[in-house]
Amino acid sequence: MSLTNIFEMGKGYLMLGGGLVLITALCFSIGYGLIYRKMCKGRARLSTGRLFLSAVCICYLAVLFGATVLRPGTEMRAACIYPFYSYREAWHSFSSVEWRNLILNILLFVPLGFLLPFWASHFRKFYWTVGAGLLTTLAIELIQLATGRGVFEADDLINNTLGTAIGYGLFAFCSGIRSRFRRKTAWFGLLPAALTLAAYMTGYLIYENQAYGNLICEPNYTVNMKDAEVSAACDLEQEEKTGTLYRSAVAERQEMDRRAQDMFAALGTDIGEERTVEYDDVTVYYSKDERYCLWLYKNGLTYSFTDYSVFDDTFDGEKKENATEEEIKEALSKYGIEAPEEAAFEENGEGRYTFLASMCEKDDGAVLDGSIQLTYNTNGVVSELNYRMIELESCGEEALISQREAYERIKAGKFEYLYFADKIQTLLVKAVSLGYEMDSKGFYQPVHCFTCERNGEDLELRIPALAQ
C-alpha cells in the first residue's frame, strides 16, 4: 500500500470521526443544555478547551479503530506470538514497505500517549498512560483475532505500547518546558523517541555497511523441533567449500523510465506519465491509450507486462498452441525483447510458453538465470509476459558452510517457516543441492536447497550458505 492510499484511508476515517463529533455534540447539547442546565438547574460549566480536547479524542479514536478494526479483514484467525518476528521479516527483505508499516504502528499510538494526560490527571503518571496503551492495543488485537480482520501479533503490542510511551514523553517535554521548575528535566521526555530513532538509525547503518544484502529465506523465529523426528535419506557433505557470488543490475528510476519508454515505443505508443506510480521496489507504467501495463522492478530489471486489449469484445485472437520456438522469438522481437539462445524453450499448454535458464554461462562470461513466461495468441499478440531472466556478473568467491552444518541448522529449527503452518512432526531430507537467491542488495547468494517431506507432504527448505 502506497503512502497516498494510507492518507486517503486515514482521511476517510477522519471524516467518520467528524461525523461522530457532530452526533456527540448534538446528544451533549440536549443532555447538558436542555436537561442539566434548564430542567435540573445545574450550574457546573465545561471549558471550551475541554470540549475541543473531547472532539480531538473522538476523531483520533475513529481513525485508530477504523485503521485497526474496521478495515477489510483477511478472514484468517491466526496469532503470531513471537516477539520481533516482523522486525526480522523487515530486516531480511529490507523492504521500506515493511519498515514503514512498523513505524506507522508506532506512530498510530503516539497521540494516545499525548492526549491521555490532558484528559485526566491520573494519566499524568507514566505507568497509567503506558498501561492504558497496552490494554487498548490488547483489546484491538483480540477483536482482530475474533473477527478475522487481522492477525494477533506480539509485535503490535510492542510497537503500539512504544508509541504510547513516546506520546507520553512528548507530553512530559511540552509540560516541562512551560514550567520553569521542571525545564531542566523536561528533555528526558524526549528519551523514548530518541532511543527509538537511534535504534532504527543503527540498524540502517549496519545494513549499509554490510558487504552483501539480506536473504528472505533467513529465519524469522526458531521453529520448535523438540518433538519432531528429523532424518536424512541422502549423503550430506561435511567439508566446507567456497562458492561464487554474483551481482545483478539494480536500476535507478531514470533507467527504468528509459526501459519502459523503449518497450512502449516498440508498440507504437508512449508512457502515460500521469498514471505512472512509483512504489519502493517497482514502478508501474501505463501506455497513453491505457492498453498496456508494465510493472518494472529495480532489482534485476525484471518486469510483468499485460495487454488489456485481450479483454475487449473486439479482440480477434485466441490462445495459440503448438507454436514453434522461432515463432515465439519473432513475436517477442516486436516488443523489443530478444530471447537468449542459452535458454531452453518449453510449451506449457493453453498458449503459454517458457524460456528457462538455470545459471547458464554466456560467451561473454556473464551468467543467465530465470525465465521468460508468456501467453501467445493467434493474432500475434503477447497478452501476458513475465520477464524474470536476470543477467549476472561474478563478484568474487566466499566460504560456504557444509551441507551437514546446514542440516544441523534445520534440526535446531533455524530455517524460514511460516508461524501459522502445521507443526512439524516428521521431516525427511531426501536431497540437497546448491542454489542461488537474490538478496536485498541485488546480489545472488548461494543457498543450500533441501528437498524434504514434512508430515508426508513435499517441502523445500533453503538455508543461507555463506559462512558468517
- In this predicted model, what pLDDT tens digit does every residue of 358-406 receive, in sequence order? 988 887 778 999 999 999 999 889 999 999 999 899 988 999 999 999 9
Asked whether residue 179 carries a pLDDT value surpassing 50, the answer given is yes
Tell me how many degrees the CA angle 5-61-55 measures, rounded to the nearest 5.
110
26-40, 193-207, 256-270: which range is least confident on average?
Answer: 26-40
pTM over 0.85: no
The pLDDT assigned to 49 comes to 61
- In this predicted model, what pLDDT tens digit does every residue of 57-94 receive, in sequence order? 777 777 777 777 766 655 667 889 999 999 999 999 99
Question: What's the whole-number average pLDDT of the chain?
Answer: 86
Of 106, 126, 107, which Cα lies nearest the Cα of 117? 126
The pLDDT assigned to 34 comes to 46
Over residues 413-431, the mean pLDDT reads 94
DSSP-assigned states of every residue in 290-349? S-EEEEEESBTT-EEEEEGGGGSTT----BPPS--HHHHHHHHHTTT----TTSEEEEEE
Measure Cα distances from 327 to 28, 320, 321, 323, 417 in Å: 75, 11, 11, 6, 42
Measure Cα distances from 207 to 89, 441, 458 in Å: 14, 10, 34
The pLDDT assigned to 76 comes to 66
Beta bridge partner(s), residue 79: 152
Q: Determine whether 104 is exposed, middle or buried from the number of CB atoms within 10 Å of its CB (0-12, 13-18, 19+).
A: middle
